[in-house]
Structure 1
């Protein structure tokens, strides 16, 4: 007895469903392309942190017996910034935990891409004085020819990419170094990179 074979009936989709499927496919493709473009732009335009290098530091006559108060504190830090805009506002010089001098360094400035700026500052030392608890140790280290100091630069940074500016960020560059008995920077500490906290 011959078998009856029936072909499966073909159900055609309605035009509305086909149109909806096509629109979903186009939308997903556009989202994928936009995501790839945004990722590439983010990789190429993301801000890079600036780099700070201590180039010079001095406290002339630091070996005087009347203390370091009112002595000029001079320093120079090279700042390399691959970004568009950066402002330098305040700094401080520390002897371990004892503050030696602090004050404003320079006004905010514009720096072009891949630019280098020499940040120079001159402050009046506030101590230590012979009445300070840290004076004996400070004076003995000066006599030994090696005084450990820290230079801290506090900055407000805003990056600019073309016409778009980011919000302001706080940044701190911390430079550790030693000065000799005459108040000049040790040669091995010249051009050493500073630690950056962002």
Structure 2
């Protein structure tokens, strides 16, 4: 009868077993460290602020002599959605456009710090520089829109911001806020544009 020999069991040497154990411990530590770093990144990753157009008005917008020297007033709500991250703002400047025509511009808010989950109202008080009856076709379009009760405008806010994470600050970011809206013929904000969220660019 043929004889069958069971395969011999080769025990690993102590050095190999020690090496395998160290590799397993190292991989486990790398995995745990990776998970911790990912959780920290999620909790400390800055979220962009949010801006909402609360109100906007240009009284006597439909007067026949043009919009020059009329008061331009608006309120924009700024909200910091971060739980643990503050935001440093440099001075904020505003510009109002009718198409490509600049209607008004000037400073809106001094530099300030926005704490986590904080809200700030940005109050703009500018003076219109146009359009006037001397602006040709631009004034004709503007006057026609005012007579129809629907004047489309854009409010641009520009600033530089830094996020404060615990005790250190991030690099500076150039921020641009773009709010599109329409005014009635009397110069007040259309109802559907109240509290409208503006676009934000970094």
TM-score (norm 1): 0.87
Q: Does 1:117 align with 2:116?
A: no
2:176 matches 1:177: no
CA-CA distance at 1:171 after TM superposition: 2.5
Equivalent position to 2:198, from 177, 182, 194: 194
3-state DSSP class of the match of 1:36?
A: helix
Two-structure CA RMSD over aligned residues (Å) = 2.2
Deviations 1:11-63 (A, max 9, x none): 64253x44433332222111100100111122222222222111111112222
Shift of 1:9: 6.5
- Distance change in 2, residues 1:67/1:25 (3 Å): same
In the TM superposition, 1:47-196 aligns within 5 A as 47-83=46-82, 84-87=86-89, 89-133=92-136, 134-196=138-200
Shift of 1:85: 0.8
Deviation per residue, 1:147-188 (Å, 9 max, x gap)? 111111123222222123222222322111111222221223
Q: Matched residue of 2:106: which SS?
A: strand
The alpha carbon displacement at 1:112 in A equals 1.4
In structure 2, stretches of 5+ residues that fail to align are: none
Using the TM superposition, name which of 154-163 and 49-58 deviates more. Answer: 154-163
Pick closer, same or farther for the CA change 1:70–1:8 going to 2, 3 Å: same
Aligned to 1:8: 8
